[in-house]
Amino acid sequence: MKTGIRETIGGAGVIPVVVIENAEQAVPLARALAEGGLPVVEITFRTAAAAAAIAAIRREVPQATPGAGTLLSPAQVQAAKDAGAAFGVAPGFDPAVAREAQRLGLPFCPGVATASELSQALSAGFDTVKFFPAEAAGGVKMIKNLLGAFRCTGVKFMPTGGVNADNLAAYLAVPEIIACGGTWIVPKDALAAGDYGRIAALAAEARALVRAARG
Q: Which residues are catalytic?
A: 42, 130
Grouping H, G, I as helix, E, B as strand and the rest as coil, residue 146 is helix
47 contacts 77 by C-beta, under 8 angstroms? no
Distance CA 68, CA 22 (A): 16
Q: Is 70 helix (H, G, I), strand (E, B) or coil?
A: coil
Three-state secondary-structure class, residue 171: helix
Give the span between the Cα atoms of 110 and 106, in whole angstroms. 12
Separation CA 182–CA 15 (nearest Å): 6
